[in-house]
Structure 1
Amino acid sequence: MEENKKKIMGTLEENVAYMNEVLPVKESFDLVQRDIVIGGKKSSFFFIDGFTKDDTMLKIMTSFFSVTEEKMPDSATEFSRLLVPYVEVDTLSEFDGIIKNLLSGTTCLFVDGYEACIVIDCRTYPARGVDEPYNDKSLRGPRDGFVETIVFNTALMRRRIRDPHLIMKMTEIGESSRTDVAICYMDDRVDQELLKNLNSRLEKIHVDALRMTQQTLAEELFKRKWFNPFPKFKFTERPDTAASCLLEGKVVILVDNSPSAMILPTSILDMIEEANDYYFPTITNVYLKVSRALITIATVFVTPLFLLFMQNLEWLPEVFAFVAIKDTVNIPLIFQLLILELAIDGLRLAAMNTPSMLSTPLSVIAGIVMGEFSVRSGWFNSEVMLYMAFVAVANYTQPNFELGYALKFMRLLLLVLTAMFNWIGFLIGCVIVIVSIVCNKTLSGRSYLRISKN
């Protein structure tokens, strides 16, 4: 992009020739050049079809046609100030900024004799409604959610926080994609050291494109070790959650084309929170948090503990003797548990790719055929099916998808170590789980278990 650093020329022919040389105006149907005469001077519009508000451009061009030669200013700055009947107008003198703005959707106007380009931001992006997120619902509270357009998302948060200390700094990342990224924070509450660290990391990112939007950005921000699956960032599709985090002194990152916000720094306690915790009385709030935390812990340890006691039946208290397997064990318990872990993920993937009208029949088939008949056929024991069903349902009590799979990997590790080394393996697995959580550092460098000061 170095050749685009040159400044625009004074003649319209040279500017138009350069724009046609850099951009495939004649090959791309959506890159439009519109030549008109304004006040006796030749002029050319460059814009992208589909990004421009037709009604607004019609009114602007109508006003231009009424300009006489006597009213034409001597400079682009005066032209934008006196003759452009629109709010968002700027003048640029370098082709780098002009082409970047044009490809972002703005309309660029070249006028013969002006050594600057008039940039009119009358763009509009295709966007869906700000409906409630499908995977981040609440029983109470607002029903709006983030969308794929970054300007709409910043407006949703600005509507909730009418404070002059709220700063939304826009930058772009990606040599080819030039994706807009907004860093949002409360200037009087944010950890300045964290903000400085974040800005430093963003400046060092050199990628061709943010292909997977926020996920690519997260991987570039924090090169985490592959063997520690616990997530470094919290994501939310709810503007009220993001606004609350801003007021707590955290940083929210928005990426264009992504309907979710990245929140940092975060801890494992933040991961298991959800919006419902804050829309109920305090005692209900505490109960929901405690119950979710206990269920989250249970999803990791229920099946490994069951396997451990089945391998050491003499440890099982008499009062809990009913949990022992009564039927014949045709397949070793460890293989039953591992097969069911894989089967649950298979059913989840099948449900994601099944048309909504067929989801109910699929659930019936999975519940009856794969549940009842797999036990009758002797593949699985009913007790194993019961505990794995609890694990499958309990995974949905916490909203973070990445944390759910991190806990699943810890559970699989515990199962394998317990099957191989009995109680010693179970203890080793517990130590690995604890170390993985304690040693997991966030972007700010603080512990994953640290509670926010706010």
Structure 2
Amino acid sequence: MSRKNRSSSNDNNKMPEYADIPIDPTVELNLHRLKHDLGGSDDLIMREIRYDGMRFASAAVVYIDGLSNAMAINQYIYDVLDYSLSHHHAENPSSVDAAGLAKKLISGMGAISNVSEMATLYKNLLSGQAIILLAGQKIAYCADIREWKGRDVTESTNQTSIRGPRESFTETLRTNTSLIRRKIKDPRLWLETVTIGQVTKTDVTLMYLNGVVKPSVLQAVRSRLSKIEIDGILDSGYIEELIEDGRWSLFPTVFNTELPDNVAGQLLEGRVAILVEGTPNVLIVPTQLVAFFQSTEDYYQRTFYASLLRILRFGSVFISLLFPSLYIAITTFHRDMLPASLLISLAAQREGVPFPAFIEALIMEITFEILREAGLRMPRAIGQAVSVVGTLVIGQAAVEAGIVSAAMVIVVSITAISTFTVPAYSMSIPIRILRFVFMVVAASFGLFGIIMGFFVLLLHLCALRSFGEPFMAPLSPYKKTDMQDTLFRLPRWLVFKRPDTSLEAETSRIRKS
């Protein structure tokens, strides 16, 4: 299956289109077409209802084994159809009103829709609905009795918290929407579902609070989703890459999370949630840089402790980004900035090291990145043990062999640990990449290179936007009202307004102008 955009795929590989093919009133012809188009697949179940003296079948039930509730089909749909049609056939074999009678009986199930063309029929069938074909009818009835095995709602292993809800999203779309509705019981919480993917036909659902979200943001989301032309969507990462701003930027402009309470909180602030069938990661747009350094746990702790943790995280980000480059710059170009005792200690440690500070730091950083990736890919039973033991053994062996200094091992260790304080994993990746960039400019130009590199980074961040909203807000442009929940969190009894991303803030700004 091609994962590329439709514009780059070969025309010979395109799937056949069924939009112009109507449903035939003859049941056998529809069944023959279904069997032919699906290649006679073993999981395609087709059950006909045919009586003596009749040349053609009166009805048929078609479903995909494993996607539909087979017990409900056998005990209700098929039995009801069989009873109603056989009873009517015995009383008046020549009557054509049996289809109408059967329709009334099966409509007692509730979720019954009708389709008139094969394209919609295939989509509903492959989504787990049972298809009911009736003789003489140019429409088919779709019973929504989808049922498949899915992962239970469990605690997230990627985004953990000490205090707060433990539940996380699963791979089932309807389960995820219900988790959010359990937290926001408001009729203004609206859902819109679109199908994306020429082959996979993946359901993508938008969730937003009507009257809270900005219409411009909602329209931008709809427009970007409607322009996606691709064969398959297997994860929300496909959607994220195709709709994000700043596609050549290292920084993500779409937020993703596995926590329903995080999504609920952002919906209350006027953002849009994008849920994709088959993935537990929900996308949030628009987003801001500070959102990647905030945790849902901040809102469940007392304000003083939450504010302290936020400041600690921001400080850890600067350590993770700049600590190795500062060490390289100071030990290479600016030794006079160090106290004499510390300078002598560092010189003694580096006496037998054959490499300059930059090469020394580069070796240790690359080694740690290899160990981190190996720990993620190894089986969980041994991955953590191997990564920890490997780091200790390699670090100690490198110092004893005189390849690196003990001070460099300390710098790299503190830098690596600081990276894990970022709650959003997607933000830790650009920080790790930029760390190497700052190491290069530090080795080339010293502190001047670090300052200039940091200045260029700020300019880039200020130029980024997320669905029309400034990525660096409320720091740039400065929003005084939004600063109450940015670097620190004010007590709840001092917070009265929604952030600038909501319709309420936009309306208030228009009135003032």
Give the TM-score, by structure 2 length.
0.83
How much has 1:43 moved relative to structure 2? 1.4
How much has 1:235 moved relative to structure 2? 0.8
Whether 1:269 and 2:271 are equivalent positions in the alignment is no
In 2, distance between residues paired with 1:234 and 1:273?
Answer: 12
Structure 2 equivalent of residue 204 of structure 1: 227
User: What letter corresponds to residue 45 of structure 2 in structure 1?
Assistant: V
Q: Which whole-Å deviations, capped at 9, do the CAs of 1:70-125 have from their partners, x for residues lacking one?
A: 59983867643333442211111111111110111111011111221011111112
Structure 1 equivalent of residue 35 of structure 2: 20
Residue 159 of structure 2: SS of its match in structure 1?
Answer: coil
Q: Which whole-Å deviations, capped at 9, do the CAs of 1:212-232 have from their partners, x for residues lacking one?
A: x21111121136343x20111
Q: Which moved more, 1:420-429 or 1:72-81?
A: 72-81
Structure 2 equivalent of residue 357 of structure 1: 381
Whether 1:8 and 2:30 are equivalent positions in the alignment is no
Q: Return closer, same or farther for 1:368/1:427 CA change in 2, 3 Å cut-off.
A: closer
Q: Return closer, same or farther for 1:159/1:80 CA change in 2, 3 Å cut-off.
A: farther
In 2, distance between residues paired with 1:38 and 1:264?
Answer: 57
Whether 1:316 and 2:338 are equivalent positions in the alignment is yes
Residue among 182, 186, 207 paired with 1:159: 182
1:222-237 counterparts in 2 under 5 A? 222=244, 224-226=246-248, 228-237=249-258
CA RMSD of aligned residues (A): 2.3
How much has 1:165 moved relative to structure 2? 0.4
| Equivalent pairs, count | 450
In 1, distance between residues paired with 2:50 and 2:345?
Answer: 87
Whether 1:388 and 2:403 are equivalent positions in the alignment is no
Residue 205 of structure 2: SS of its match in structure 1?
Answer: strand
How much has 1:325 moved relative to structure 2? 4.3
How much has 1:317 moved relative to structure 2? 4.6
Does the 8 A contact of 2:330 with 2:446 survive in 1?
no
Residue among 78, 83, 101 paired with 1:66: 83
Residue 446 of structure 2: SS of its match in structure 1?
Answer: helix
Structure 2 equivalent of residue 123 of structure 1: 146
Whether 1:436 and 2:460 are equivalent positions in the alignment is yes
How much has 1:12 moved relative to structure 2? 1.6
User: What letter corresponds to residue 12 of structure 1 in structure 2?
Assistant: V
User: What letter corresponds to residue 82 of structure 2 in structure 1?
Assistant: F
Q: Return closer, same or farther for 1:246/1:81 CA change in 2, 3 Å cut-off.
A: farther
In 2, distance between residues paired with 1:22 and 1:410?
Answer: 51
In 1, distance between residues paired with 2:465 and 2:113?
Answer: 43
How much has 1:164 moved relative to structure 2? 0.5
Whether 1:427 and 2:451 are equivalent positions in the alignment is yes
How much has 1:51 moved relative to structure 2? 0.7
Structure 1 equivalent of residue 43 of structure 2: 30
Does the 8 A contact of 2:99 with 2:135 survive in 1?
no
User: What letter corresponds to residue 34 of structure 1 in structure 2?
Assistant: R
Structure 2 equivalent of residue 333 of structure 1: 357
Does the 8 A contact of 1:172 with 1:179 survive in 2?
yes
Q: Return closer, same or farther for 1:66/1:75 CA change in 2, 3 Å cut-off.
A: closer
Residue 46 of structure 1: SS of its match in structure 2?
Answer: strand
How much has 1:361 moved relative to structure 2? 4.0
Whether 1:110 and 2:133 are equivalent positions in the alignment is yes
Q: Which moved more, 1:399-408 or 1:380-389?
A: 399-408
Residue 66 of structure 1: SS of its match in structure 2?
Answer: helix
How much has 1:429 moved relative to structure 2? 1.4
Q: Return closer, same or farther for 1:423/1:394 CA change in 2, 3 Å cut-off.
A: closer
Q: Return closer, same or farther for 1:76/1:446 CA change in 2, 3 Å cut-off.
A: farther
In 2, distance between residues paired with 1:73 and 1:436?
Answer: 71
Q: Which whole-Å deviations, capped at 9, do the CAs of 1:280-302 have from their partners, x for residues lacking one?
A: 11111111111111111221111
Structure 2 residue runs without a partner (length 5+) = 1-15, 475-481, 483-498, 503-513
Q: Return closer, same or farther for 1:390/1:323 CA change in 2, 3 Å cut-off.
A: farther
Does the 8 A contact of 1:325 with 1:383 survive in 2?
no
Does the 8 A contact of 1:76 with 1:115 survive in 2?
no
Residue 5 of structure 1: SS of its match in structure 2?
Answer: coil
User: What letter corresponds to residue 69 of structure 2 in structure 1?
Assistant: K
Q: Return closer, same or farther for 1:265/1:75 CA change in 2, 3 Å cut-off.
A: farther
Q: Which moved more, 1:427-436 or 1:187-196?
A: 427-436
Does the 8 A contact of 1:136 with 1:237 survive in 2?
yes
How much has 1:364 moved relative to structure 2? 5.0
How much has 1:418 moved relative to structure 2? 1.2
Structure 2 equivalent of residue 401 of structure 1: 425
Q: Return closer, same or farther for 1:223/1:264 CA change in 2, 3 Å cut-off.
A: closer
1:217-256 counterparts in 2 under 5 A? 217-222=239-244, 224-226=246-248, 228-256=249-277
1:139-150 counterparts in 2 under 5 A? 139-150=162-173
Does the 8 A contact of 1:110 with 1:116 survive in 2?
yes
User: What letter corresponds to residue 81 of structure 2 in structure 1?
Assistant: F
User: What letter corresponds to residue 9 of structure 1 in structure 2?
Assistant: D
User: What letter corresponds to residue 5 of structure 1 in structure 2?
Assistant: D
- Counting aligned pairs with the same residue, the percent is 26
User: What letter corresponds to residue 291 of structure 2 in structure 1?
Assistant: D
Does the 8 A contact of 1:437 with 1:449 survive in 2?
no
Does the 8 A contact of 1:189 with 1:249 survive in 2?
yes
Whether 1:47 and 2:63 are equivalent positions in the alignment is yes
Does the 8 A contact of 2:64 with 2:125 survive in 1?
yes
Structure 1 equivalent of residue 472 of structure 2: 448
User: What letter corresponds to residue 430 of structure 2 in structure 1?
Assistant: A
How much has 1:195 moved relative to structure 2? 0.5
Give the TM-score, by structure 1 length.
0.93
Structure 1 residue runs without a partner (length 5+) = none
How much has 1:357 moved relative to structure 2? 2.5
User: What letter corresponds to residue 59 of structure 1 in structure 2?
Assistant: Q
Structure 1 equivalent of residue 121 of structure 2: 98
Q: Return closer, same or farther for 1:335/1:38 CA change in 2, 3 Å cut-off.
A: farther
How much has 1:262 moved relative to structure 2? 0.3
Residue 379 of structure 1: SS of its match in structure 2?
Answer: coil
Structure 2 equivalent of residue 292 of structure 1: 313
In 2, distance between residues paired with 1:284 and 1:449?
Answer: 24
User: What letter corresponds to residue 63 of structure 1 in structure 2?
Assistant: V
In 2, distance between residues paired with 1:132 and 1:126?
Answer: 18
Residue 348 of structure 2: SS of its match in structure 1?
Answer: coil
Q: Return closer, same or farther for 1:113/1:390 CA change in 2, 3 Å cut-off.
A: same
Q: Which moved more, 1:440-449 or 1:160-169?
A: 440-449
Residue 185 of structure 1: SS of its match in structure 2?
Answer: strand
Residue 114 of structure 1: SS of its match in structure 2?
Answer: coil
How much has 1:414 moved relative to structure 2? 1.1
Residue 128 of structure 1: SS of its match in structure 2?
Answer: coil
Q: Which moved more, 1:420-429 or 1:343-352?
A: 420-429
Structure 1 equivalent of residue 236 of structure 2: 214
